Amino acid sequence: MTKTIKNPESHMMTYGYKPELSEGAIKCPIFQTSTFVFKSAEEGKSFFEIAYGIREKDPTEELGLIYSRINNPNLEILENRLSLWDKADDCAVFESGMSAISTVLLEFLKPGDLLVYSNPTYGGTDHFIQHLLPTLGIHTIGIYTDDTKKSIIKKIRASGHSKRLAMMYVETPANPNNALFDIEMISEIAKEFEANNKKQVVTAVDNTYMGPIWQHPLEIGADLTIYSATKYLGGHSDLIAGAVMGSQELMTRVKVLRTFLGNMISPNTAWLMLRSLETLKLRMDKQCENAKKVAQFLTTHDKVEKVYYLGLLKDGEKGYDIYKKQCTQPGAMISFDIKGKEKDAFNFLNHLKLIKLAVSLGSTESLAQHPSSMTHIGVDPELRNKLNISEKMVRMSIGVENPDDIIEDIKQALEEV
Ligand SMILES: *Cc1c(COP(=O)(O)O)cnc(C)c1O
Domain presence at residue 273: no
CB of 83 sitting under 6 A from ligand 1: no
Going from the Cα of 121 to the center of ligand 1, the distance in angstroms, rounded, reads 10
Q: Look up 122 and say whether it is catalytic.
A: yes
* Co-location of 253 and 298 in the same domain: no
Q: What is the mean pLDDT of residues 186-196?
A: 98
Query: Long-range contacts made by residues 370-379, C-beta under 8 angstroms, separation at least 24?
Result: 370/342, 370/345, 370/346, 370/394, 370/395, 371/176, 371/335, 371/395, 372/342, 373/342, 375/123, 375/175, 375/176, 376/120, 376/123, 376/176, 378/123, 378/126, 378/127, 379/120, 379/123, 379/126
Domain presence at residue 271: no
Whether 373 contacts 389, CB under 8 Å: no
Q: What is the pLDDT of residue 60?
A: 85
Contacts (Cβ under 8 Å, ≥6 apart) of 388: 177, 308, 337
Q: Give the range of the structural domain holding residue 399, as residue numbers without chain letter.
A: 280-414
Instruction: Read off the CATH number of the domain in which 307 is found.
Output: 3.90.1150.10
Considering only residues 5 and 96, tell me which one the structure prediction assigns the higher pLDDT: 96
* Co-location of 236 and 301 in the same domain: no
Domain presence at residue 239: yes
Whether 81 contacts 281, CB under 8 Å: no
Domain presence at residue 316: yes
Domain presence at residue 56: no
**Among 240, 264, 288, residue at a domain's last position:** 264
* Co-location of 232 and 362 in the same domain: no
Residue 1 predicted with pLDDT over 70: no
Q: Look up 157 and say whether it is catalytic.
A: no
SS3 93: strand
* Co-location of 366 and 410 in the same domain: yes
* Co-location of 98 and 158 in the same domain: yes
* Co-location of 207 and 337 in the same domain: no
Going from the Cα of 275 to the center of ligand 1, the distance in angstroms, rounded, reads 20
Q: What is the mean pLDDT of the chain?
A: 96
Q: What is the pLDDT of residue 390?
A: 95
Residue 135 predicted with pLDDT over 80: yes
Q: What is the pLDDT of residue 240?
A: 98
Q: Among 232, 241, 183, which residue's Cα sits nearest to residue 211?
A: 232
pLDDT in tens, 263-279: 999 999 999 999 999 99
**Among 200, 234, 264, residue at a domain's last position:** 264
Element of type H or E holding 383 = helix 381-386
Shortest-distance Cα residue to atom 12 of ligand 1:
122
Q: What is the pLDDT of residue 62?
A: 80
β-bridge partners, 242: 94, 228
Going from the Cα of 277 to the center of ligand 1, the distance in angstroms, rounded, reads 18
Residue 163 predicted with pLDDT over 70: yes
Shortest-distance Cα residue to atom 11 of ligand 1:
122
SS3 99: helix
Instruction: Read off the CATH number of the domain in which 132 is found.
Output: 3.40.640.10
Q: What does the alpha-carbon distance between residue 239 and residue 269 come to, in Å, rounded to a whole number?
A: 7
User: Quick one: which atom of ligand 1 is closest to the CA of 99?
Assistant: 9
The string of DSSP letters for 294-334 reads HHHHHHT-TTEEEEE-GGG--TTSTTHHHHHHH-SS--SEE
Domain presence at residue 20: no
Domain presence at residue 30: no
Q: What does the alpha-carbon distance between residue 365 and residue 388 come to, in Å, rounded to a whole number?
A: 26
User: What percentage of the chain reaches a pLDDT higher than 90?
Assistant: 91
* Co-location of 110 and 257 in the same domain: yes
Residue 359 predicted with pLDDT over 70: yes
Domain presence at residue 153: yes
Residue 154 predicted with pLDDT over 70: yes
Identify the band that residue 61 occupies on the pLDDT scale cut at 50, 70 and 90: confident
CB of 90 sitting under 6 A from ligand 1: no
φ, ψ of residue 235 to 5 degrees: the values are: 75, 0
* Co-location of 286 and 166 in the same domain: no
Domain count, the chain: 2
* Co-location of 218 and 257 in the same domain: yes
* Co-location of 107 and 244 in the same domain: yes
Identify the band that residue 2 occupies on the pLDDT scale cut at 50, 70 and 90: low
Q: What does the alpha-carbon distance between residue 49 and residue 347 come to, in Å, rounded to a whole number?
A: 61
**Among 234, 264, 294, residue at a domain's last position:** 264
Q: What is the pLDDT of residue 379?
A: 85
* Co-location of 358 and 399 in the same domain: yes
* HSE, side-chain direction, 13 A CA sphere, residue 13: 5
pLDDT in tens, 268-320: 999 999 999 999 999 999 999 999 999 999 999 999 999 999 999 999 998 99
* Co-location of 112 and 219 in the same domain: yes
